[in-house]
Structure 1
């Protein structure tokens, strides 16, 4: 796996479970994307630019899959996910020498959860998520777990 030396493009997403479908969070010039997953769970990608980049679309698709896997991992660890949990993903396209590569950074917010348990849930979610499995060993992935 190669680490990117020079980032050329980045796409970011902020994903939360949408508990109130009437709430719009986007500002002028951006849109809120509402997605659903099997089982009727709704997710929102708030304040996305009207013409998202490929990196942002990949981050968005990955985060929708990952936040579902996070819920599964939490239930397997007997954890009720806290109010305000969220997943932020940044996907980078960049170069190392003449080669082009992808990289990703996850920030998973699990407020009030004990750090060790939060990290275990986050890592288990990566073992469950098909997107995470597909890129494992192929791209540089950084994980940040925030419990405050």
Structure 2
């Protein structure tokens, strides 16, 4: 697996379950995307730039899939998630030797839960998520858990 030597561009996504579908959060220059996952769940990607880069689109698609896998993994482990939990994914493209490669950084916010529990759920979600499976062994993936 190649590792990025110098980041050239990054794309970020912030995924939450939209508990108030009528609430719009986008401001001038950004838009809110409402996506559906294969399980029928609704996801909101808020304040996305109007002209996203490929890295942002990839992080957004991965977020939509991963947050559903995360919910399923939590249910499998019998972990009750807080209503305000979220998943942020930053996908970066950068140089690696004479070529280019991708990397991803996950930040999972789950206030009030122990970090080791969230890490366990996160790793199981990576086993379930088709996007995570597709890139396994091909790109470097980091994980940060925020419980406060």
TM-score bin (small chain)? over 0.9
Question: 1:15 and 2:28 equivalent?
Answer: no
TM-score by length of 1: 0.97
Write the distance in 1 (CA, Å) between the matches of 2:90 and 2:16.
15
Give distance in 2, aligned partners of 1:100 and 1:116.
33
5+ residue gaps, structure 2, are none
Show the counterpart of 2:66: 66
Distance 1:77 1:91 in 2: 28
Q: Deviations over 1:114-134 (max 9, x none)?
A: 121111001110111000011
What secondary structure sits across from 1:25 in the alignment?
coil
Moved over 4 A (4+): none
TM-score, scaled relative to structure 2: 0.97
Unaligned runs of 5+ in 1: none
- DSSP-derived class of the 2:137 partner: coil
Q: How many pairs were matched up? A: 148
Tell me if 1:56 matches 2:56: yes
Distance 2:132 2:38 in 1: 18
Asked if the contact 1:14–1:46 (Cα under 8 Å) also holds between the matched residues in 2, the reply is yes
Q: What is the CA–CA distance in structure 2 between the aligned matches of 1:27 and 1:66, rounded to whole Å?
A: 26
1:5 aligned residue: 5
Q: Cα distance, 1:110 vs. partner? A: 1.0
